Amino acid sequence: MPNPTPVRRRASFVFLPPVVAATVGISLLVQGAFGQPNFELLEERAEQRELAGWVVPTLELTDYLYPRLATGFAGSEWVVVNKLRPLSPLDFEPQVREISSSESLDNSRGLELRDVAATALEAMASEMLFQGAGQMFVNSAYRSYEYQRELFVDKVDQYGEAEALVRSAKAGHSEHQTGLAVDVSVPAQGCAIMQCFGDTVAGKWIAENSWKFGYIVRYERDTTSITGYTYEPWHLRYVGIEIARTYANNGIHTLEDFWGFPAAENYPEIAESTID
């Protein structure tokens, strides 16, 4: 898979709109004090800009300062958490609710997500069943700091530390702790929590349609050197419809590339220990 092209940021645009707005406001005050605006002069300047080929810039979401700041807030839908970006606080606990089971969605384990993510998942499952892609099953959702810590220890015991590091996150570095990540499957189609899930009818449908509901497949194929994790077609992350749409339309494959953050293949202490 070719390297994804990140959405470029134009920092000047972060500050340009407020400056323009202030200038216009001052102009209106001056006009109010000294008489009506000179519309002929304004029209002349507009014509000059048009002849010069000046076009009002179209800003990308990542051009704005607030969304980038929000990626560091544990409670934000836009938070980016990886091996280099721990949650703050490390033991962050979101408000969550139980995902509703239905004909289209089996949550017999009583798992939980943040309300906005749960609502979106319920809508996606309904549409997936309607389109004949199967009934969704929730394998994992919100995990507390303590649960994630125990899970990582279990993975180390099962696979060894090196393998565990690409299969599971350390506590405080897991998307599941945000309440915005969920692992799903369709038992009737097999490959539950396996890479072959991406080749099933449900896996393909999710990869093509999850963005319509504000979700992305967080760990795509051949992105381990950026995300730090192996291909997980079952692991979905809620980022909101606006980001998910932009993500899909621009052919982005990782949140690190979307926001222009550095690759997070290893934890800092591991990266430092491997430097010659």
Q: Are 234 and 182 in contact (CB under 8 A)?
A: no
**Active-site residue flag, 150:** no
Q: Which of 168, 144, 146, 147 is nearest to 156 (CA)?
A: 168
Residue 237: its H or E element: strand 232-238
Element (H, E) at 219: strand 215-219
Residue written as token pair 């570095």? 173
What Rg value do the Cα atoms of the chain yield, rounded? 23
Q: Dihedral sign, CA of 234, 166, 194, 250?
A: positive
What is the rounded distance in angstroms from the CA atom of residue 70 to the CA atom of residue 110?
30
With CA atoms as reference, report the closest residue to 120 among 143, 139, 145, 97. 97
Q: Which of 220, 232, 256, 265 is catalytic?
A: 232
CB 217 within 8 A of CB 239: no
Are the beta carbons of 137 and 187 closer than 8 angstroms? yes
Phi–psi pair at 78, nearest 5 degrees: -100, 5
- The token pair that represents 86 in the structure block: 């721990």
Q: Tokens standing for 171?
A: 């506590």
* Buried/exposed 47-63: b ≥16 CB within 10 Å, e otherwise: eeeeeeeeeeeeeebbb
Residues annotated catalytic, as ranges:
232
